[in-house]
Amino acid sequence: MANFIQLLIGGVSMGILYGVVAIGFVLLWQTSQTINFGQGELVMVPMFLMVALHIVLKIPFWPSFVLTLLGSGIMGYLFERLMIRKLLPGGVLVIVIATLGLSGFLRYGMQIAWTPQTLFFPHLFSTKPIELGDIIFSPEDIWNIVLISVIIIVLHLCIKRTKLGMAMQAVAQSRETAELMGINVRHIITLVFVLNSVLAGTAAVFAAPIFFVRYDIGIFLGVKAFVAAIIGGFNQIRGALVGGLTVGLAETFAAAYITTAYRDAFVMILLLVVLLIKPEGIVGIKEEAY
Amino acid sequence: MLKKTLISISILSLLIFFSSGPAAAAEKVRIGVVIELTGAGASLGDYWTKGVKYATKEINDAGGILGRPVEYKIFDTQSKPPISVSAVKKALAWKPYALSGPIYSSSTLANMFLSQEAKTPQNVGSENWRISTKGSKYIWRTSTQQGFEIPKLLSFIMAEKKPKAIAMLHVNNDYGIGAKETTQKILKETYNTKLVAAMACEQKQADYSAEFSTLRRKKADALFVYLLEEEAAIVYRQVRKMGLKLVLFAPNSGISEDTLRLGKESAEGVYGMSGFEYNAPEPNCVRVSKWFKKQYKEWPDNEFMKGYNSVYLVKTGIEQTGGFDKAKYSQKMHNIFITPKVQKNICGGNLYYDDVGDLHAWDYLVQVKWDGTHAKPKIVAALPPLKGPDSSKKTKWYEK
């Protein structure tokens, strides 16, 4: 049982991280029918920004964190204004190709501009293990789970309970109708891109001590989050979270009870099974009904 | 008439000018650097390339090789074996005298047949034991292969730490799988024991809770961390984070500067082995490391010295041959004992290359010490090579 609980903590702490990145995919898809294959790079760039501020310039953690989120928000704003807005009329395929290009540009740009080396990032929380009987766990994992959960709950409440959130939901359901109801759709789409980048920036700060900071980490996180969003449901925020947790737990339990090799393969098998049985995702809603 | 003559002379001059291009190029000793410039091995490839660059500058400043300057061109393998094959093809189309790299064993195993076909020397950074079994007369290693490295490391761990249950984490590629096979063989044949768990891990894996749960179930008291640099550092951090009490030991990738820079205090106590250390009691390792530190404000990873040696090996071969015949080069560079007298700048002291291009050199057994700001490899023992003239030499630890 102790073993099971420890695996559960490990799987959830990774899964929630995938989930928070996956939420970005869902938010952008819902409001602008955009699939952003540069989502992983929206995590990678703030990681480097955090290193620049906190490690290189030695700015204390909290100001660095705030500045990183600010930088992420600006990046999201520019991303929407300079690229997405111009390409949106071209349809989803144009956006997919453009974001793939952007992803490569940011990745190799960072490698050339800064370093191909992996950079160190310190732990955010105490690493002294806590023992509860046979169960040993790290405070870092618990804090990650708690804090990211709080962020997701706050986001969920904002979307469900505030006027702005309702406007976002309206845009997600029908851009034309939302426009007729007096909602500034362009404004909402820009806001969602900023929100997505800030979320990705937050994920970056939590992920940096676990993965370290390297220019190509975005591919890894982006693919995991994309798979998580599909498994959970591409049209539901809670779907991204469920998908993230499913991926994290599937990886961990498959590695523990089947084999540690090819742990990614189990996730891909799971993805295929979900697509065959419930193509809209575990908690996703069928597009017709939606 | 004069106009026609002038035009003819101009055309002739242009032809001579352009035809002199390849001739001039042939005067240079070209080295095609086939390396992990992007992808998972980019960090290692960066160190290697810096080593090539420095060695080339040094050699050219001293007058080149037999009077010819060295020129290199980089071909990116993207850390992927299939891409490495096309990179080697491109490099060979450039007509190099020799190839330098790659580092990843999977890439070398995929592309080494090309250098063999082209009869072009290739100095690789790979350590998988299978490379030496392929029968190529044009492959040389720049570090000790795992079949010679692991027995030395295990002999120390078994004698000094006396572990009861050894587990192994290995990267799921040719480098890691080759190490697992070697370790299992040595444990069985020499120590009549076996690994309690051998777990394959993915590159860029960040969570090891599943592996740690197996370690607990199997009651492992020692862990052989045969992973790449970044993953090894992540494992050290998570071992400490989960409060596991294990004797940790690793090959050179687990104690390299790149790993220790990331692992910091969590790497404290890890045992490992490497042929190239910046603090090794070997003048050339120290000299080039100091240059690197001055240039890049950090100590180099051993890949820097391997890349550096890959160029000096070409110089040695050409000088030993007395010309640029590649077949003669291949003959001369087998069963050769390269001492500082033969090649004064080469790193690692006395290097012996056997009949399959395997390197037999002194390795340093180190234990990582944390000094409050840096994790540093402290040399515990110098272990002689298993083959070659130096193999009969005994060190203090071996006598014990």
Kindly report, residue by residue over A167-210, the tens digit of the pLDDT: 998 988 888 899 999 999 999 999 999 999 999 999 999 999 99
- CB pair distance less than 8 Å for A255 and B258: no
Residue B40 and residue A120: Cβ atoms within 8 Å?
Answer: no
Q: Total structural domains in chain A? A: 1
Contact B207 A261 (CB under 8 A): no
More reliable by pLDDT, B360 or B276? B360
- Residue ranges, CATH 3.40.50.2300, chain B: 26-144+281-360, 147-274+365-399
Q: Provide the CATH topology of domain B147-274+365-399.
A: Rossmann fold (3.40.50)
Comparing CB atoms, the residue among A111, A120, A129 nearest residue B262 is A120
Q: Do B206 and A10 touch (CB under 8 A)?
A: no
Note down the domain range covering A174.
Answer: 17-218
* Whether the Cβ atoms of residue B82 and residue B104 lie closer than 8 Å to each other: no
Model pLDDT, residue B10: 52
Position A130 scores a pLDDT of: 87
In this predicted structure, which of A64-68, A137-141, A276-280, B219-223 has the lowest mean pLDDT? A137-141
- B366 bridge partner residues: B272, B379
Q: Which of B386, B347, B152, B124 is nearest to B249 (CA)?
A: B152
Q: Does residue A173 sit within a domain?
A: yes
* Largest CA-CA distance found in chain A, in angstroms, rounded: 61
Q: How far is CA A248 from CA A61, A64, B187, B209, B366, in A?
A: 28, 29, 35, 11, 36
| Maximum distance among all Cα pairs of chain B, rounded to whole angstroms | 97
In chain B, pLDDT over 90 holds for what percent of residues? 75
Comparing B390 with B64, which gets the higher pLDDT?
B64
Domain presence at residue A233:
no
Q: Is the pLDDT of residue B4 over 70?
A: no
Split at pLDDT 50, 70, 90, the class of A91 is: confident
Is B37 an 8 Å CB contact of chain A? yes
**In A, which residues are within 8 Å of B216 by CB distance?**
3
Our CA angle for B221, B223, B227, nearest 5°, is 170
- Within a domain: residue A182? yes
Q: Is residue A207 one of the residues assigned to a domain?
A: yes
Residue among A212, A194, A196 at smallest CA distance from A47: A212
**Strand B271-274 relative to strand B247-250, pairing:** parallel
Q: Residue B398's pLDDT is what?
A: 45
Question: Model pTM?
Answer: 0.87
Report for A30-39, B35-44, B51-60: range of highest mean pLDDT? B51-60
Query: What confidence score (pLDDT) does residue B11 get?
Result: 56
Q: Please, which residues have CB within 8 angstroms of residue B156's CB and are 6 or more apart in sequence?
A: B271, B365, B380, B381, B383, B397
d(CA B382, CA B197) in angstroms, rounded, equals 29
Chain-chain contact of B209 with A10 (C-beta, under 8 angstroms): yes
- Residue B399's pLDDT is what? 38
In the sheet with B197-201, reading across from the earlier edge strand, the strands are: B197-201, B166-171, B222-226, B247-250, B271-274, B363-370, B375-383
CATH 3.40.50.2300 fits B26-144+281-360, yes or no: yes
| Mutant choice from A4, A118, A136 vs B, greatest count of B C-beta within 10 A | A118
pLDDT recorded at residue A13? 93
A113-129: average pLDDT: 90
Position A283 in a domain = no
- Residue B281, pLDDT score: 81
- As a whole number of angstroms, the distance between CA A36 and CA B174 comes to 34
Q: What per-residue confidence (pLDDT) applies to B177?
A: 94
**Which residues in chain A have Cβ-Cβ distances shorter than 8 Å to B200?**
259-262
Residue A236 lies in a domain: no
Two structure tokens written together for A184: 């500034």
Cα nearest neighbour of A125 on chain B: B241
- Interface A-B: count of C-beta contacts within 8 A: 106
The residues with which B29 forms a beta bridge, in sequence order, are B70
Residue B157's pLDDT is what? Answer: 94
Residues of A in contact with B210 (CB under 8 A): 7, 10, 251-256, 260, 263
- The two tokens of residue B383 are 């272990």
- Give the pLDDT of residue A217: 93
State the pLDDT at residue A127: 82
How confident is the model over A107-119, as pLDDT tens digits? 999 999 999 889 9
- pLDDT score for B21: 42
Residue A10 falls inside a structural domain: no
Helix axes A92-113, A217-232, angle to 10 degrees: 150
Check residue A33 and give its pLDDT: 83
Chain B: nearest CA to A272, how far in angstroms?
21
Bridge partners, B226 (sequence order) = B170
Residue B8 has pLDDT above 80, yes or no: no
- Residue B393 is predicted with a pLDDT of 80
pLDDT in tens, B143-191: 999 999 999 999 999 999 999 999 999 999 989 999 999 999 999 999 9
